[in-house]
Amino acid sequence: MRDRQAHGERREKGAALIVVLLLVATLSFILLSITNVVTSAVKRSAADRARTDFYWRAAAGEQIAKQILEKYLEAPPPKMALGEGIFAKAIEVPIEGGKASIEFRDATLCFNINSLVTAGAQGYDANPATIPSFVNMLTAIGLGEGEARKISDVIVDYIDNDSLSQGQGAEDGFYSALPTPFRTGSQLLSSISELRALDGMSRGRFSRISPYLCAHPTTAPGKVNINMASDAHAPILLALQPAGSTASLTDIKAALGALPPGGLSNVSALTPPLAGITEYVVTSDRVEAKITLEVNDRTIEEKLLFDISTPPVRLLARTFGDDY
């Protein structure tokens, strides 16, 4: 009898111990979960503070870049060229806890993809005058002619107002059948990043052609500062050649190499194959400012696009890291 009682007490103590251990394990798990949540919240809060701090500094950088441009344009130079004035080198800006630099670049040397269409009473239609030039430019940078025409066709179809596909283009019928359906814009593109949504525009293809493109809010080709051109821009200059021109990429590079150091003061001094191009100018009406911020071992890059054609200086677009 006494043995059974002792045995029962031991069983009760064992059960109580198991309950206590389960409670301890449960509380430990709860405390660990709370700790993880708090730790994650602290990290997110720190990251949010750092990101907010970066954005405030970037906003200050925008104002500084704008003021530098306004000061530069108080006495507009007769010409703007590589290696001169604000385009000579990056400008260092002292900031608390780090450093920043602003690098100004010409933003006129690009092919306006909106010039692939013309504006009419019924909306936008394909522009037969600029499409061959666009194809020539893409083939000059190494794309096949079929691939270049495909890109041209899908851009035109995305902008134009009709529902008829170009040769290799795609209209609403194609895009509305995608897993995430959408419709064509039927309006000018506001950013070259919109090309990423178009049929056949892979990441690799976009990366290859984007350095040569821009999206102006007009169907006009846009003015190009010939003083800022280098061999890398030769495909763009090839696209500006008049119909029937026999100039090659090699010819254009040779002509660029013959330009005087510091650029020209008047486009009338240009010689073939650069002469006679109405889009050529010797000053830039669009300038990009690249701001690089380095704070607490972190780096962020912001690109700003300014219109400086007429006072006041206007900010057209901003992006962090990627293209406009």
Question: For 169-182, how does the pLDDT look when each residue is reduced to its tens digit (9 = 90+)?
Answer: 899 899 999 999 99
In sequence order, the 6+-apart residues with CB closer than 8 A to the CB of 126 are 116, 117, 118, 156, 160, 166
Instruction: Tell me if 177 sits within 8 A of 115, measured CB to CB.
Output: no
Lowest mean pLDDT among 13-27, 105-119, 265-279: 13-27
pLDDT (average), residues 150-170: 91
Question: For 32-71, how does the pLDDT look when each residue is reduced to its tens digit (9 = 90+)?
Answer: 777 766 666 656 655 566 566 667 777 888 999 999 999 9
pLDDT at 265: 93
Strands 213-214 and 111-112: what pairing? Answer: parallel
In sequence order, the 6+-apart residues with CB closer than 8 A to the CB of 163 are 171, 172, 173
In sequence order, the 6+-apart residues with CB closer than 8 A to the CB of 111 are 133, 134, 137, 212, 213, 214, 221, 236, 239
pLDDT (average), residues 218-246: 93
Instruction: Tell me if 198 sits within 8 A of 189, measured CB to CB.
Output: no
List the one residue out of 278, 269, 266 whose CA is nearest residue 79.
266
186: left (phi over 0), alpha (psi -120 to 50) or beta: left
- Return the residue matching tokens 């005058």: 129
Model's pTM, two decimal places?
0.80
Peptide bond into 179 cis (omega under 30): no
